[in-house]
Structure 1
Amino acid sequence: MDAAARHASRGGADGSPGPPGSGAMANTTAGNMPWKAGGGRSRAARRGALMERLRLAAFLTDRLWRLVTARAPGAPLTLAQVVVPVPERLLIAPQDLRTGDATRATEIYAGTFAFAGKVAFLEGKTPFELEPPSREWAQVLHSFSWLRHLRAAGTTIARANARALVGDWMRDAGRARAIAADPEVTAHRVIAWLTQAPFILQDADHEFYRRFMRAIARQVRGLRKAASDAPDGYPRLIVIIALAFAGLCMSEQSRLLRAVQKRLSEELERQILADGGSITRSPGVLIELLLDLLPLRHAFAARNQPAPPALMNAIDRMMPMLRFFRHGDGSFALFHGMGHTAADELATILAYDDARGAPVANAPHSGFQRLDAKGTVVIADTGPPPPIAASMEAHASCLAFEFSSGRNRIIVNCGMSAINREVWRQVARATAAHSTAVVGDTSSCHFLHGTYLTRLAGVPIISGPRDVPVQRGAREGAILLRASHDGYADAFGVIHQRSWRLAADGSRLDGEDQFRAAEGAPSALGRTPFAVRFHLHPQVQVERLDDPSTVLLGLPNGEAWAFVAPGQQVVLEESVFLATSEGPRRTTQLVLLGTLADDPRLVWTLLRTREAQVPRPSGSRGSRG
């Protein structure tokens, strides 16, 4: 178990819960022991290990090459060679779709900086002189995303405070921390400064105005060089989006704008898949991107310039996927780094959705499926992990699913915490943190480990399921879905197959988990243990019945569902729900335990046993007739 998981398993000093399942999170980074045939490693296991090493070698070589070429004099990167002069003025200021909170402005003015679950007090210093209480706190501080709270206050004092803090950062920029120079943090800072420029610069003297222009131009030059060096996925795309904003908002930037439009189109076409999902497979990335892509589209219009077709097409593809990932309560399904859903931000984005139709059911390019019947929703992960370079936040969640009825989420994944993310990150990425089967107490994906390698390349997924066939159909009005994955084939010689059947009226979900021998493996499965986990939302109340194979799940609106696993004992274990704005919450998980040889097939059912109790209006006598 890595240090983060050890810390998490003890629980926090504040009594925060540990990881879900006793020992279930122990092996998130180490390789699995390969299954044996005839006393030695199987040919399939050896081939899998070789392919893993080859993929890792190719990824590390590409990473090193990018680091070298990005820093080489005269590196052949078109965008990096564009000259960025100090602008004389700002032509436009982008919209800010993120919500500001005026009460936060009062806290900042009082010297209290509360970010990412940590609080720091100035006590006569500038915030940039403080020792950061966490890396995440420092990232938020140097991103200046909190300027929107000062703007929400809209007072002269808030404006002067914003200008003073920006001035403090510009004065200390020469000795700024490495976190401040991170490309993703710099990109957010450039966007924040451009967006809030009218607020910051109002009533500013000429000297401050010129310092501001020089500082923003200097940061844009750094981003220009980092556009290809930034990690793949969202970090690289947000750098290019920031450069596009700079090209539109700053005067004398025609060359930058032409060059960045080409790169923006290339990245959007590559990273936004045909069904509208992200290459990272994270639902949360869609929200973050649209909060900046929608204002970017508006900025092109404000400059009377046509937006790149790739930008328009990407937005059009992404919008339906927002509805795909939503449960009835408006929250997003918790896959691949998704945490708490900011309802105000999501509502703002959806206001731009002209179609507003029913969500699509099949997202094969992104690797997800949705079953929806009369307000009962199943959302399942039916895809392999993302490419290595884009998998820094991806989870080992193949065949995990979430289940909701109306506005009540019932079965969930643990999600990602907004607080102490570094502590929980690898715990949350493990298969055991998801509602799916865990074989041999290991994850279905291998994560890069080793201090030197992770310092160089982060913690990507270096191997996992490669073949994930999906079948979908209907029978007598019910929706049928079947998928399997080979993430445990090399290590244990087993294929995990899962089937779902959602009744037409949404009152019943039948499921089956089956384990069969992988191609080339011995036909007789070994006695390797497995655990099929169903994490429950904290609002669900669990009631034991006399039958050990059945538990009753009560919802806040009075609705009740029975979980039945014939012939099995349903074990109740502690779990943790990470996707809250307040921090981790304790919850419960249902677990079915067995061994591959003894229990190769499990069936289970979720059956609505009591409808929601609709309160009768006060004074009502009922209907007459």
Structure 2
Amino acid sequence: MTAGFVDEPRLAGLMLRETGRRMRSALRAAAWPSLRLLPAGVPEPVAVPADLRRADAAAARAFYVGHLWLANHLVHLGGQSPFLVTDAPDAWIAELNSFEWLRHFTESGDALSSEHARTLVADWLRLKRRQLPRLAFDHDVAARRVIAWYSHAPILLQRADEAFARRFARALDDEVRRLKRTANAAPDGLPRLRVRMAVAFAAVAQPGRTCGARAAARALGEELDRQIHPDGGHISRNPATLVAVLADLLPLRQFFANQNKPVPRAVFGAIDRMLPALRFFRHGDGALALFNGAGVPDHHLTAALLRYDETLGEPISQMRQSGYQRLAAGRTILITDTGLPPAPEVSSDAHAGTLAFEFSAGGRRMIVNCGAPARLDAGWRRLSRATAAHSTLTLNDHSSSRFSRSERLDRFLGGPLMPGPTRVPTTREEIGEGQILTAAHDGYRQGFGFVHERQLFLSRDGGRIDGVDRLFHAAGRSQRLASEEPMGMLRFHLHPDVSARDTGDGIRLQHGDEVWWFGSEGEAKLEDSIFFADGAGARRTRQITVAFDCLEYRELGWRFEREG
């Protein structure tokens, strides 16, 4: 760890802040208990929040046979309680203890499903805290559990005896009280926001407690205003985070209304900003652009969320605060990352993909980034976050932003992305022939003495994309000071469904009825690549690579053009 501190002084500050946050959380969780929030009687909610996530009755039946597929991992129970499994991946344990899988039992809806769901919850309630994994009480997992218990209380309480109902009410109350006490000590970003939403769900669910609902709404509103940019993006810069937030925030808004409680203005405002932002990141096939932690798409959930979007017309063209640009013409959509890395505290899923782009045509994704892996294997995760896993320029296979070199630090801090680029100036203009976007970043200034500039042109009919990548000597820094002689490499990762063939006159790309040709000023090659953002696991794909000798040339042009 000491070496990590010497190499990355910022990590020392992050380490101290994270240690302090955990201590505050532990102290507040152990604080003297406040008065119970729920009445002593059996909780029988008049209305429950909706669950917009897809449910499958077959997934509920898997609990009967003891083969649980959660978080892209299959675990065989072997007759034991799922909550006593100790050798499963952390992602599986977190998903299990979130109880979000209760939606599958609600979907089934019969008496047997109700009894089995109740038995599973009772099994969890019987266990002492020391018997459960520590991960089960992380802020994010506990907040998801509270929301799931409220959302699926009817299936649990259907024909329940009074003893279970009281035990369930006490446990739910204890969970909410602990989250209220420790909300400010929750990890920044989505976990803290989820805690605020869970407390708001609890406050709204209790009839007659207007003051509690107002306080919870005010705290949630303040957190939404802090975390959701004016352009609708999240401070983590992860497009998939918008889906996660909206999946809980939209039902919460309706829950306020159903319980005849005023919906906080900040909730309305955040939703109105996020829905257009979600459309901004969406390709023609419904998948989100693969930037900064976005991975396997949930087409059903995204479509369900966008049904609430009442805005008309085309998606917005730029997200200034979040740092993204979108060019669209004809059947072609091009989305590029033109932002600074997020703050280290909320960057555990962020990628070093500055100036990377994706494009789709006719509802077919052609050029992509590799995306985040569905299974959170540490090695794959680190590889997917590197600049080389993105459709942009690398120098000597170095990333434009830095990562910790210590696995122990990564486990403790969540793998923060250390700042690389400090400036990403961006301009765009409309000309007669189409749209031009120009952006630059200084992420390679420290190691190599270069600033990378990328210019993208999309023709008015959407049939041609011209690109130029340039390298400039950074002001005040001589190339002779660079630690290595740089060799650039342009990468264009192909979607796995794209077939590619080098004809000698260019590289022919085909995806369905979309046929495009790639050409460049340098020699282009087809090489192997990996596409992580697939529900079935990592898939083999191809990438176009073009070597860029930075010492001989300062710019390199390339083109994608639709056939015919």
TM-score range normalised by the length of the shorter chain: over 0.9
The answer as to whether partners of 1:527 and 1:598 remain within 8 angstroms in 2 is no
Give 1:572's aligned amino acid: L
Equivalent position of 2:444 in the other structure: 488
Q: 482, 499, 511: which is aligned to 1:555?
A: 511
Give 2:81's aligned amino acid: T
Going from structure 1 to structure 2, the CA distance change for 1:228 and 1:564 (only over 3 Å counts) comes to same
Equivalent position of 1:97 in the other structure: 52
Corresponding position: 1:119 with 2:74: yes
Q: How many residues align?
A: 556
Corresponding position: 1:139 with 2:94: yes
When structure 1 is superposed on structure 2, of 364-373 and 338-347 the one drifting more is: 338-347
Going from structure 1 to structure 2, the CA distance change for 1:122 and 1:533 (only over 3 Å counts) comes to same
Give the superposition deviation at 1:123.
2.8
CA distance in 2, matches of 1:452, 1:339: 25
SS in 2 for 1:204: coil
Q: Deviations over 1:427-486 (max 9, x none)?
A: 111111100111121111112332443343221112211100001001114100000000
Going from structure 1 to structure 2, the CA distance change for 1:74 and 1:334 (only over 3 Å counts) comes to closer
Give 2:56's aligned amino acid: D
Give the superposition deviation at 1:265.
1.2
Q: Give unmatched runs, 5+ long, in structure 1.
A: 1-29, 32-48, 611-625
Q: 58, 82, 85: which is aligned to 2:37?
A: 85
SS in 1 for 2:287: coil
Q: 517, 524, 535: which is aligned to 1:581?
A: 535
Give 1:228's aligned amino acid: N
Equivalent position of 1:199 in the other structure: 155
CA distance in 1, matches of 2:128, 2:35: 21
CA distance in 1, matches of 2:320, 2:201: 32
When structure 1 is superposed on structure 2, of 319-328 and 111-120 the one drifting more is: 111-120
Equivalent position of 1:4 in the other structure: none
The answer as to whether partners of 1:517 and 1:523 remain within 8 angstroms in 2 is yes
CA distance in 2, matches of 1:283, 1:421: 21
SS in 1 for 2:127: helix
1:284-363 correspondence to structure 2 within 5 Å: 284-363=240-319
The answer as to whether partners of 1:84 and 1:220 remain within 8 angstroms in 2 is no
Corresponding position: 1:130 with 2:88: no
Give 1:143's aligned amino acid: S
SS in 2 for 1:119: strand
SS in 1 for 2:359: strand
Corresponding position: 1:219 with 2:146: no
CA distance in 2, matches of 1:422, 1:243: 32
1:557-572 correspondence to structure 2 within 5 Å: 557=513, 559-566=514-521, 568-572=522-526
Q: Give the TM-score normalised by the residue count of structure 2.
A: 0.94
Equivalent position of 1:262 in the other structure: 218
Q: Deviations over 1:547-583 (max 9, x none)?
A: 4xx21111222x31110002x1112111111111111
Give the superposition deviation at 1:112.
1.9
The answer as to whether partners of 2:72 and 2:535 remain within 8 angstroms in 1 is no
CA distance in 2, matches of 1:580, 1:406: 21
Corresponding position: 1:70 with 2:70: no
CA distance in 2, matches of 1:453, 1:253: 43
Give 2:531's aligned amino acid: F
Give 2:37's aligned amino acid: P
Give the superposition deviation at 1:365.
0.6
CA distance in 1, matches of 2:148, 2:134: 19
Relative contact order, higher structure (CA 8 A, sep 6+): 1
Q: 430, 437, 442: which is aligned to 2:386?
A: 430
Equivalent position of 1:599 in the other structure: 553
Corresponding position: 1:460 with 2:416: yes
Give the superposition deviation at 1:52.
6.3
The answer as to whether partners of 1:385 and 1:465 remain within 8 angstroms in 2 is yes
Equivalent position of 2:504 in the other structure: 546
When structure 1 is superposed on structure 2, of 104-113 and 517-526 the one drifting more is: 517-526
Give the superposition deviation at 1:255.
4.9
Q: Give unmatched runs, 5+ long, in structure 2.
A: none
CA distance in 2, matches of 1:439, 1:394: 20
Q: Deviations over 1:312-344 (max 9, x none)?
A: 100000011111001111111000111122111
Give the superposition deviation at 1:64.
3.1
Q: 350, 369, 384: which is aligned to 1:394?
A: 350
CA distance in 1, matches of 2:392, 2:545: 10
Aligned-pair identity (%): 41
The answer as to whether partners of 1:116 and 1:136 remain within 8 angstroms in 2 is yes
Give 1:64's aligned amino acid: T
When structure 1 is superposed on structure 2, of 89-98 and 191-200 the one drifting more is: 89-98
Equivalent position of 1:502 in the other structure: 458
Equivalent position of 2:489 in the other structure: 531
SS in 2 for 1:466: coil
CA distance in 2, matches of 1:606, 1:429: 25
CA distance in 2, matches of 1:266, 1:489: 37
Going from structure 1 to structure 2, the CA distance change for 1:82 and 1:325 (only over 3 Å counts) comes to farther
